[in-house]
Amino acid sequence: MPPWVVTLAVTVTLLPAGLTRADTVVRRGAAPPITGTNAVIDGAGVTLRVSGGSLVTVAWDRVRDVVLEPPDDTRLSVLPRYRDDATRLWRARTRVERGDTALAEPLLERLFETYRGQTNETALVIANGLLRCRLARGAHASAVLPALEVIRLRRAGFETESYRNLPPVIDPATQLAPQLAPAWIPGRPLETLDRDLATYDPGNDDVVAAMARLYHHAVRTTLGRPDDPVTLDGDVGRHPGIVRLGLLVACTDPDSDQRNAARRRLLEELDGWPAWAQAWARFGRGVSLLQEPGDGRRRRGMVELLHLPARYGREVPFLTGLALARVAEASRADGETETAAVLEAELVRRFPNHPVRRSASGLRRTAAEDAVR
């Protein structure tokens, strides 16, 4: 007999009078069942009124089974669908927690399409897991929507025990995802992100809405069809995450005065920032200077970008690989083919699976690989 059956039998036996015909959530792992009345079954999970009158919601990744008393038809009719979701989410979540993100991602993708936009812990578990999967395989553009959903749900007050033993993916001070600087590789995923951000619904959260607009502006600038600059006023404009994201986006603004102002402010403030934010600032300044006329500015831009492989490779591997690729590209454009080959070889050595390599020509990849050999 499974241990949870014994625990459930004991729990029901010990229930006070008036709760003998109660609903029970059988939880996964070693957690004991929770018994209460009037169980509500919906996308959030199972919500029970327990002894003392308080409400307890068990997210679906923690639900093994639900025992309903009485087993009325209305609740029984929706339970099978949610049972299936609970099993898929539990499998996906535990795979992420043991590092098997490749097998977890397909399950989480399907669940994200169903639960995206909901405001509950189950939606947070799904978005957080999908964000981790996409970051793990370098799917930078595809990670933005789940990141925005994690940020939205965290700001709405939802937390979860899931993934608690893994490194955090959202910085609590800025509410940004450190691995998601607004720096992109052109291609189909970026086109998809352009369309997705155009219709993204942040709910009533002005900060998340501003983040989505800034990311979207950066995406469209990379694709060669920039919108008008994003205007941010009041408290939203002073939010620390919005400030940093906005400065990065302004570094590639079509207006030279805006670019200069953003570069100056980043240089003034970066010393007090954490390592990942310093890397963002160096990258933003470097890419911006590469776009300016004059050999001096281009050289300064290369130096800024080379701070990343020298200092921040562990903190922001995606951005570091992208920085190496940008300096190699600029060196090759300036006729410095030997320098470009060395940088491309370094990219292959340090980040052999970086997605930027798939966007380069096959000849460059072969040359870099030959240099490593």
Q: What is the pLDDT of residue 255?
A: 86
Q: What is the distance between the alpha carbons of residues 46 and 262, in angstroms, rounded to a whole number? A: 48
**DSSP calls for 60-114:** GGGEEEEE-SS--HHHHHHHHHHHHHHHHHHHHHHHHHTT-HHHHHHHHHHHHHH
Hey, where are the domains in the chain? 3-71, 270-373
3-state secondary structure of 47: strand
Q: CATH for 3-71, among 3.10.350, 2.60.40, 2.30.30, 3.30.190? A: 2.30.30
Question: What contacts 36, CB < 8 A, 6 or more positions away?
Answer: 19, 22, 23, 48, 49, 50, 51, 56
Strands across the sheet containing 45-49: 55-58, 45-49, 34-42, 23-27, 63-67
Helix (H/G/I), strand (E/B), else coil: 130: helix
Residue numbers in the chain where pLDDT is lower than 70? 1-21, 360-373
Q: What is the DSSP letter of 255?
A: S
What's residue 326's pLDDT? 96
- Alpha carbon distance 352, 321 (integer Å): 9
Would you state the CATH architecture of domain 270-373? Alpha Horseshoe (1.25)
Q: What is the pLDDT of residue 370?
A: 41
Long-range contacts from 359-365, C-beta under 8 angstroms, 24+ separation: 359/185, 359/186, 359/187, 360/325
Q: By the 8 A CB rule, do 188 and 358 touch?
A: no
